[in-house]
Amino acid sequence: MVEKSYQICIDANDPSALWPFWAEAFGYRAVESNDGSVDLVDPKGEGPLIWFQQVPETKTIKNRVHFDVFVDGGEVAAFEERLVELGGRVIRRESDFNVLQDPEGNEMCICWEAEAG
């Protein structure tokens, strides 16, 4: 078997506008990389590194891949509010998840277990 590792890259026009949103979303901490940019690392050392690649083009269509972040149902409102304070915006609400966009339009879902009805 081939030994592998991986990281997640998020394209960004302005990485400094995005990394605070994603640090909060994932519970990661920001670290300065060798080139002076900011990467996000899992404080538990379990998840992949997240880095932001500066690109000239803006996002124009729906993401084909997105992140689902699971939280306790009682924490959804506060978590969502914090992400909105960091430039995110809610674009859709469902019974057991809400779809948000980061400051440049990349999607993520805040998910929780729906109450039995």
In this structure, what are the phi and psi dihedrals at residue 93, rounded to the nearest 5 degrees?
-120, 135
Q: Virtual CA dihedral for 12, 17, 22, 24, nearest 10 degrees?
A: 180
Structure token digits, residue 26 = 């994932």
Give this prediction's pTM: 0.89
Q: How far apart, in whole angstroms, are the C-alpha atoms of residue 54 and residue 12?
A: 5
pLDDT digits (tens, 9 = 90+) for 38-64: 999 999 999 999 999 999 998 888 888
For residue range 21-34, list pLDDT tens digits in order: 999 999 999 999 88
Domains and CATH numbers, the chain: 7-54+65-111 (3.10.180.10)
Q: Which two tokens stand for residue 59?
A: 């996002």
